[in-house]
Each structure stands twice: as C-alpha cells, then as structure tokens.
C-alpha cells in the first residue's frame, strides 16, 4: 500500500510504501519508457515486488533511478566543494567584517 503524504511544490507527491525502501517524490503525469535490463536485475526487482517492497516493477525502477540521481548530485557537490581553497574562502567571508562589526547592534 502506498501512502501519498500530500502535494509538494512543482506538482510532486511524496510517496511512501510502509516497510519499503521506496521514498521519493514523483511528478504526475508520467512518461512511459521501454528499458532493456539484465535478466538477473529483473529477477531481483520481481522478488522485491513479490515481497511487497514495491507495488510493481515501474515503482521499483523509478525509486532506484531517483536514488541514484540524488547520490550523483551529492557526489557532484562534494567534487565541486573540494576545488575550493579554504584560506581564500575564509578571507572572502571575513572581508569587511571588522568595519561592519562596529555598526552591529548590541544584543
């Protein structure tokens, strides 16, 4: 059983399947696609569907794809952050702070 917790910005729904790993936003309407997958992967997906972790193959594949895309986005952020020079960033953050500090109200 899927519990939709309500509409989110961008016409998205947050879908939750109790006791499952499915927990991602899904946007309506959906686009139908055809995929060619390894038979062993399909067997694993079918097993998850049989154990009621997902309602069907489509939900299992959608959840896996959404999870992978989230992970890739985090990896990209970490890669870009690693390019920053901490000393330079601190200098930029502190720039002008001494003059501004005198004008700040007392709390």
- Contact (Cβ atoms closer than 8 angstroms) between residue 44 and residue 60: no
Q: Specify which residues 27 forms β-bridges with.
A: 12
Domain count, the chain: 1
Angle made by CA atoms 32, 57, 45, in degrees to the nearest 5: 140
15-74: per-residue pLDDT in tens?
554 555 555 556 668 899 999 999 999 999 999 999 999 999 999 999 999 999 998 888
Task: Tell me if 87 is assigned to some domain.
Answer: yes
Q: Which two tokens stand for residue 68?
A: 């992978």
Task: Tell me if 104 is assigned to some domain.
Answer: no
Domain span at residue 80? 3-30+39-94
Q: Which two tokens stand for residue 56?
A: 């069907």
Mean per-residue pLDDT for 66-87?
88
Distance CA 97, CA 85 (A): 19
- Contact (Cβ atoms closer than 8 angstroms) between residue 54 and residue 17: yes
Task: Tell me if 72 is assigned to some domain.
Answer: yes
Q: Is the pTM for the entire model greater than 0.75?
A: no
Task: Tell me if 107 is assigned to some domain.
Answer: no
Task: Tell me if 18 is assigned to some domain.
Answer: yes
What does the pLDDT read at residue 25?
A: 59
């Amino acid at each position: 059983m899927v519990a939709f917790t309500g509409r989110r910005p961008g016409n998205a729904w947050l879908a939750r399947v109790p006791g499952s790993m499915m927990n991602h936003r899904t946007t309506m309407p959906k686009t139908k696609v055809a995929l060619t997958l390894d038979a062993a992967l399909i067997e694993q997906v079918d097993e998850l569907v049989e154990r009621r972790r997902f309602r069907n193959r489509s939900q299992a594949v959608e959840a896996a794809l959404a999870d992978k895309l989230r992970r890739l986005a985090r990896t990209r952020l970490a890669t870009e952050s690693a390019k920053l020079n901490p000393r330079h960033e601190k200098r930029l953050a502190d720039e002008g702070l001494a003059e501004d500090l005198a004008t700040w109200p007392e709390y």
